[in-house]
Amino acid sequence: MRAALARRVPVICQKPFTPSLERATALAAQAQAAGVMLAVHENFRFQPWHQALRRLLDEESLGQVFQVSFRLRPGDGQGPEAYLSRQPYFQSMPRFLMHETGIHFVDVFRFLLGDITRVMAWLGRLNPHIAGEDSALVIFEFAGGARGLFDGNRLVDHVAKDRRRTMGEMLLEGERGVARLDGDGGVWLRAHGANDEQRVDFECSQRGFAGDSVLATQGHIIDHMQQSTPLANSAADYLDNMRVVEAVYRSAETGTWVTP
């Protein structure tokens, strides 16, 4: 990556974006100093159901949002063979669930509700055959006053035809109603006081990973390069996600609220 930046070649970096916040900060600073685009391939916010939830917020369908919660339940983490068929290095990562997976949802939470100001976290390892944590309960406070809950457990599954599609289920709860993301990528809206949900219509490709979110991410980056549109997943911005994850680990170690 440093060789590309030195030659002023734009870079899209897969995540995790370096092993540490210190190295990530240094690379982001090098890119900014050189005036070179350095983007992190963070595609979860570009999944069509998360984009649909963002539009509901922009349309004020929920009014003031009180909280967001996500239950991560891919069900792929049980036993000695966990992760070996797809990503065997997961077993040896000393920091696993939050560093590798939870950071996606930190970015989604920030995409939906803005900056995170404090976290309280409990982390645990349920599968003795892996090195890092595979379960987490994390409470987030947002600058706008809302709160969030990330409830992650890779050993338990959820109702879905493809459990990797959304990896779990989400609720966005506000004064005017509740939006729900199901395991198949469907978004449902229930007005406050109503008994029935209404399905929210949006375009969703069945090609590629998770609604073709990889293509959507690349398209967003290309638009930035060709038309100078704002870049949502620059390395400099992604540092905020990494700071939140670092705060999660510190909170779990100290048993206290931590400010990123």
Residue-level pLDDT at 211 = 79
Q: What is the pLDDT of residue 18?
A: 84
- The torsion of the CA quartet 228, 232, 236, 242, rounded to 10 degrees, works out to -170
Q: What is the pLDDT of residues 40-99, one digit of tens each?
A: 999 999 999 999 999 999 999 999 999 999 999 999 999 999 999 999 999 999 999 999
**45-202+236-254 CATH choice from 3.30.360.10, 3.40.50.300, 3.10.200.10, 3.40.50.450:** 3.30.360.10
Q: How many angstroms separate the Cα of 228 from the Cα of each of 27, 117, 234?
A: 22, 30, 13
Residues 12-34, mean pLDDT to the nearest whole number = 88
Amino acid 89: pLDDT: 96
Q: What is the pLDDT of residues 127-158, one digit of tens each?
A: 999 999 999 999 999 999 999 999 999 999 99
pLDDT band at 208 (very low <50, low <70, confident <90, very high): confident
Say what percent of the chain tops pLDDT 70: 100
Smallest CA-to-CA distance from 73 within 183, 184, 190 is with 183
Distance CA 119, CA 240 (A): 13
- Please name the amino acid found at residue 88: P
DSSP class per residue in 153-208: ESSS--S-SSTTSSSEEEEEEESSEEEEE-TTS-EEEEETT-S--EEPP----SSS
Which pLDDT value is given to residue 5? 80
The predicted-structure confidence for 96-127, as pLDDT tens digits, reads as follows 999 999 999 999 999 999 999 999 999 999 99
How deeply is 195 buried, as exposed, middle or buried, from its count of CB atoms within 10 A (0-12, 13-18, 19+)? Answer: exposed
Task: Give dist(CA 137, CA 153) in Å, integer.
Answer: 9
Residue closest to 25 by CA, chosen among 260, 239, 209: 239
Q: Could you tell me the pLDDT band of residue 15, with boundaries at 50, 70 and 90?
A: confident
Pair 120, 251: CB distance under 8 Å:
yes
Entry pTM: 0.94
Structural domain boundaries of the chain? 45-202+236-254
For residue 1, pLDDT over 80 is answered with no
